[in-house]
């Protein structure tokens, strides 16, 4: 597929898939594009004679032709050989550290089986954590930027290890010249003044979980006694966010499920609370789970994304804008093509480490023994699997090669692909549908704001 | 042009001139953790 066209917010948008060029076109061009490659000008004029004048069609046709000649429409993919010929080494430079395989909540959709990843409840020791820091530094090769995400379960159940890891990493940073960026993902229940101070000072990004409206959050994000967390976490999240000054990043992040297909209201609730960096993401659960999203929910989900896109434009114009994570596409920049064709990096640039130091391709594979890549003490062992992940890019995913969004999503989430299709190369279809809708919305927002 | 307004001049194709340094963040390190989106990462080598 070389072109993708869609209508949104009263605009006709055309994406040239391979060059990344984006055009806003009038109705005449939008219609002519359907036939441009299959019919000659006379035939097109005749097909549309009841709708447009011959002169209009001729002009539109010439403009399309000009853009084609300039390499901005109907371009070919020149990138394939770059990735296929890349036999160089890969470097692990990002790591998800599972600080705690334990959690003080039992959220109903938890992919980590309420924190224990279907194994023993366990906390990471400072020794394992420090060894993991050394492991990622040793394996990052020439990469200067190293990322470590302090994750769980709930990492703040093991704050002692968090502190020791950060302190150790700062020392190693100086010795090695690396730039280590920390992120922490927390359910916010254990935040207090000391912890918030520490997070603000040391974390490049803090991800704070809340699902939106109280009735939504408290049905799902619950404690062991069944009570909801909203009243406890909202004030803590606000205090944490208020500390993030001078462009320091945070994300207030929730999940939507079948129980809140009207998640637009949850995003708006968070925006109205004053949060500027918001992410509400679709839950990923097997079909039979009562909270799972299904094919029949897609129309509603798409309506919600459309509504959200329009409101983001309105608020931006009123100077009250906020960022919605999945709509943050910089149409004139963003990552280079080398990144976009190499996938998410799981299994060869990015790994997850358990409290025992076992290494998996990403946090979603943790606990699935077949996917164990090694251990931070003994190093990597499963090189065959690492190669499989490295080669798990769009050019080895036939469905992606037919999809216009391949350079935006980069082949989707390998873990989702595996859990739905038992093959990282076959995309998780429901995820694809939502991804494509979000990319359209993101581009439409940018086009609309540029238009005005 | 009268009928077409181009808002992106093929940034993807033009980025082929970049070194491909792979210094940018990994997508799952930001907020997602469940859904791979690569296009919203920022380039470290602008």
DSSP string, A284-303: ---TTSTT---GGGHHHHHH
Question: What number of C-beta contacts closer than 8 Å exist between A and B?
Answer: 218
Angle at the Cα of B31 from the Cα atoms of B27 and B35, rounded to 5 degrees:
60
Taking the C-alpha atoms of residue A47 and residue A41, their distance in angstroms, rounded to an integer, is 10
pLDDT of residue B41: 84
Residue A6 has phi, psi (to 5 degrees) of -155, 160
* B27: closest CA of chain A, how far (Å): 6
Mutation for testing the B interface, residue in A4, A301, A339, A404 having most B CBs under 10 Å: A339
Question: 3-state DSSP call for residue A388?
Answer: helix
pLDDT digits (tens, 9 = 90+) for A28-50: 999 999 999 999 999 999 999 99
- How close is the nearest chain A Cα to the Cα of B39, in Å? 5
CA distance B10 to chain A (A): 4
Question: Within the 50-89 window of chain A, which residues sit less than 8 Å (CB to CB) from chain B?
Answer: 59-60, 63-64, 66-67, 71-72, 75, 78-79, 82
Contact flag B3-A335 (C-beta cutoff 8 Å) = no
Residue A323 pLDDT grade (very low, low, confident, very high; cuts 50, 70, 90): very high
ipTM of the complex: 0.92
Mean pLDDT for the stretch of residues A407-434: 95
What is the average pLDDT across A211-235? 98
Spacing of C-alpha A404 from chain mean position:
18
Q: How confident is the model at residue A370 (pLDDT cuts 50, 70, 90)?
A: very high
pLDDT of res. A317: 96
Q: DSSP letters of A14-51?
A: EEETTT--EEEE-HHHHHHTTTTTTS-HHHHHHHTTTT
A275 burial type by CB count under 10 A (0-12 exposed, 13-18 middle, 19+ buried): buried
pLDDT tens digits, A380-401: 999 999 999 999 999 999 999 9
**pLDDT reported for residue B40:** 79
A409 vs A128: CA distance, rounded Å: 33
The neighbour count for residue A449, using CB atoms within 10 Å, is 13
Q: Are strands A205-209 and A11-16 parallel, antiparallel or unpaired?
A: unpaired
Among the partner residues A19, A281, A340, nearest to B32 by beta-carbon distance: A281
Residue A306, pLDDT above cutoff 70: yes
- For residue A430, the model assigns a pLDDT of 96
Bridge partners, residue A16, by sequence: A3
Q: Please tell me the distance from the alpha carbon of residue A210 to that of residue A352, in angstroms, as a whole number.
A: 23
Give the integer Cα–Cα distance in Å for A23 and A332.
12
pLDDT value for A429? 96
Report whether pLDDT(A420) > 90: yes
- The H-or-E segment that residue A350 falls in is strand A350-353
**Interchain proximity B4–A251, CB inside 8 Å:** no
- Report how far residue A152's alpha carbon sits from residue A112's, in angstroms, rounded to the nearest whole number: 8
Q: Of B37, B23, B27, give the one whose Cα is nearest residue A438.
A: B37
| pLDDT over 90 at A9, yes or no | yes
Does the pLDDT of residue B30 top 80, yes or no?
no
pTM of the complete model: 0.96
Nearest-Cα distance to chain B for A377, in Å, is: 23
Provide mean pLDDT across the span A164-186. Answer: 97
What's the pLDDT at B29? 63
């Amino acid at each position: 597929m070389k072109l993708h066209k869609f209508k949104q917010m009263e605009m006709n948008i055309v994406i040239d898939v391979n060059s990344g060029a984006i055009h806003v076109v009038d109705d005449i061009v939008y219609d002519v594009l359907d036939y441009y490659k299959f019919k000659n000008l006379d035939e097109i004029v005749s097909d549309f004679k009841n709708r447009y004048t011959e002169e209009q069609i001729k002009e539109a046709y010439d403009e399309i032709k000009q853009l084609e000649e300039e390499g901005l429409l109907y371009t070919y993919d020149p990138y394939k050989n770059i990735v296929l010929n890349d036999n160089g080494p890969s470097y692990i430079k990002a790591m998800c550290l599972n600080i705690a395989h334990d959690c003080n909540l039992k959220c109903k959709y938890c992919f980590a089986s309420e924190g224990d990843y279907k194994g023993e409840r366990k906390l990471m020791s400072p020794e394992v954590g420090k060894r993991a820091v050394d492991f990622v530094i040793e394996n990052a090769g020439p990469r200067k930027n190293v990322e470590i995400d302090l994750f769980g379960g709930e990492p703040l159940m093991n704050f002692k290890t968090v502190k020791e890891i950060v302190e150790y990493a700062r020392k190693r940073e100086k010795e090695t010249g690396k730039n280590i960026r920390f992120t922490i993902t927390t359910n916010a229940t254990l935040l207090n003044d000391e912890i918030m101070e520490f997070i603000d000072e040391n974390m490049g990004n803090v991800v704070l979980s809340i699902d939106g409206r109280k009735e939504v959050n408290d049905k799902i994000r619950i404690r062991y006694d069944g009570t909801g967390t909203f009243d406890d976490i909202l004030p803590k999240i606000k205090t944490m966010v208020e500390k993030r000054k001078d462009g320091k990043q945070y994300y207030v992040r929730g999940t939507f499920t079948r129980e809140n297909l009207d998640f637009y209201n949850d995003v708006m609730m968070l925006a109205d609370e004053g949060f500027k960096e918001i992410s509400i993401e679709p839950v990923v659960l097997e079909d039979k789970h009562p909270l799972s999203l299904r094919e029949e929910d897609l129309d509603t989900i798409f309506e919600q994304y459309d509504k959200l896109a329009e409101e983001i434009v309105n608020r931006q114009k009123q100077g009250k804008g906020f960022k919605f994570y999945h709509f943050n596409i910089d149409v004139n920049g963003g990552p280079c093509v080398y990144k976009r064709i190499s996938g998410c990096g799981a299994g060869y640039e990015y790994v997850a480490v358990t409290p025992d130091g076992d290494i998996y391709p990403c946090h979603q594979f943790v606990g699935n023994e077949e996917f164990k890549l090694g251990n931070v003490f003994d190093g990597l062992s499963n090189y065959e699997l690492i190669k499989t992940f490295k080669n798990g890019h769009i050019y080895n995913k036939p469905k992606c090669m037919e999809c216009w969004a391949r350079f935006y999503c980069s082949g989707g989430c390998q873990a989702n692909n595996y859990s739905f299709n038992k093959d990282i190369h076959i995309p998780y279809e429901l995820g694809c549908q939502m991804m494509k809708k979000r990319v359209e919305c993101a581009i439409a927002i940018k086009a609309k704001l540029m238009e005005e | 042009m009268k009928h077409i307004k181009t808002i992106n001049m093929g940034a993807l194709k033009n980025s082929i001139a970049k070194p491909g340094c792979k210094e940018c963040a990994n997508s799952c390190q930001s907020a997602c953790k469940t859904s791979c989106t690569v296009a919203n990462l920022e380039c470290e080598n602008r």
